[in-house]
Structure 1
Amino acid sequence: MHFLTPLFLFLPLLSRLCQANVEKTIFLAPAPIPIPSQNPAPDELGLERLSPQISVLRTYLNASFPTEESPLGTESWFFLEDLNPGQRYEVRVCWSATQPTAFTLTTHTLPSTLEGASLMSSITTFSSARLASLQMAKLKRNAGKVGTDAREPPSSSSLSPSDSVLFLRIHAAADYFTLNTSLMENVPPVLVDVILDPYLLNVFPRSLVPTAGWIVVVAGFAWMVARELVGAFSGIAEEAEVADGEGKKKR
């Protein structure tokens, strides 16, 4: 039974303190389609990208309280690329529980986005604001540098002529009430992790493989502990039975 001591010291390491919320959407990657090169080309929208190679993105998302015009809050757009056609994926948004926010995630195919007037208007508005913000930040960084070219360098990543891609739209609605007037009038940006997670054999998220491994390890230890306990109790019962039999003989 002494081997159980390291086990009991090891088990607390398997637990993790959860201080975050998660929202997700699950989808099948579409078939590859030709990527249009005319304006507005996806490469020119300046959206942050996720792919199986770069699957985690830490960023800030703007949020707002729901209104009649924006019942789901403020929207942000991302671009999912290099997907494996027909494979199941999920996109998760993880954020701190100290920033109560309601997120809504939806995916849109390239044709439906470029051909839909409302979607295209939404993504163009977001793109313009993002590009202006990036340009302003670059100008501020270069303000003290003489002779520095303030133009944005060309993108180091361009789309293939044909690819399995999707647009991802995330709505963020503030989900709290406070007596702090400033926080009620100006919702701070929410720090989030946006994660693209492929499914193995279209049934099991790849990120859960380590968790499944820990479950197998814990189950194995539990089986060993149970076997030792059963053996120990069986030995105690047998010794009690033998002692009881000897006591009856002495009488």
Structure 2
Amino acid sequence: MNLQACMTVLFVLLLAQAYANTEKVIFVSPPAVSITSSGPSFEQLHLPHITPKNSSLRLSLPAAFPSEKQSRGLDTWYMLRSLNPSQRYEVRVCWAATQPTNFWLDVYNTSHVFDTPDLIQKLAIFSEAQQTIERPQRTGSEALEESLLFLHVQAAADFFSTNRTLMNSPPAVDVELILDPYLASAFPRSLLPTAVYIVALAVGSWVLSGMIWKRLFSSTNKPHND
């Protein structure tokens, strides 16, 4: 297998499904706080969790057209848990271009949410709607140290249609929420395969160009018979 074929195979192996639209927020995780599993806990909020081990959620998010009461559409809330303190992360929401939607992503530490009436009200409304969804609960009464944040996602439909049904009730948007840690606070870990591919492509191109140049140089310097 020649070098060009190897580069082609490497490129195909790195191909993955890509979404047309992406919105993200970059943040540094806060210091760990003490959490006890006895008494009131974050689990009682019934929020979906995103962690470095389970870093991706695929789901359908409800959306609504902007209004006076909801200028950014509908709210959904998540917990970012088991973070490494003081590490840089980014959270991305990816969705298809066939579902025009505007997204806003914000991360808040727990004290900021609980001290802000508007945020705690929005969180309470969403949490109450999630009560029917059973989520795993922690057991025991031991105190744990954990770095965590609230993730606030707002989705507003961004299209116009002559179909009144669509205008009155926009369909849910299929999205993927991804928590991506940064390596050395420089670039997301998910970009590592792309970086390796670019380096391999650059090295392969340099080697291939050198081989071509040597052949051209040797052919032009061959002695000619009269």
TM-score with structure 1 setting the length: 0.79
Q: How far did residue 160 of structure 1 move?
A: 5.3
Aligned pair in 2 of structure 1 residues 39, 121: CA closer, same or farther (>3 Å)? farther
Q: How far did residue 41 of structure 1 move?
A: 3.5
Aligned pair in 2 of structure 1 residues 157, 67: CA closer, same or farther (>3 Å)? farther
Query: How many angstroms apart in 1 are the aligned matches of 2:88 and 2:8?
Result: 39
Q: Secondary structure of 1:164's match?
A: strand
Aligned pair in 2 of structure 1 residues 192, 39: CA closer, same or farther (>3 Å)? farther
Query: How many angstroms apart in 1 are the aligned matches of 2:176 and 2:135?
Result: 26
The answer for unaligned runs of 5 or more in structure 1 is: 135-151
Partner of 1:149: none
Query: How many angstroms apart in 1 are the aligned matches of 2:174 and 2:153?
Result: 13
Query: How many angstroms apart in 2 are the aligned matches of 1:153 and 1:100?
Result: 31
Partner of 1:93: 93
Instruction: Please give the residue correspondences for 1:200-215 in structure 2 after superposition, counting only pairs within 5 Å.
Output: 200-215=183-198
Query: How many angstroms apart in 2 are the aligned matches of 1:73 and 1:153?
Result: 26
Match status 1:30 vs 2:30: yes
Instruction: Please give the residue correspondences for 1:12-51 in structure 2 after superposition, counting only pairs within 5 Å.
Output: 13=12, 18-35=18-35, 41-51=41-51
Q: Give the counterpart letter for 2:155 in structure 1.
A: A
Q: Which has the higher strand share?
A: 2
Query: How many angstroms apart in 2 are the aligned matches of 1:169 and 1:153?
Result: 19
Partner of 2:148: 165
Contact kept, 8 Å, 2:3 with 2:204, in 1: the verdict is no
The answer for unaligned runs of 5 or more in structure 2 is: none
Q: Secondary structure of 1:165's match?
A: strand
RMSD over aligned CA atoms reads: 2.7
- Output one character per residue of 1:68-116: Cα deviation in whole Å (capped at 9) or x when no partner: 2212111100001111111001011111221111111000110111121
Partner of 2:128: 128
Query: How many angstroms apart in 2 are the aligned matches of 1:51 and 1:4?
Result: 40
Partner of 1:199: 182
Match status 1:6 vs 2:10: no
Q: Which has the higher helix share?
A: 1
Task: Give percent identity, aligned residues only.
Answer: 38
For these two proteins, the number of residue pairs brought into alignment is: 224
Q: How far did residue 4 of structure 1 move?
A: 4.7
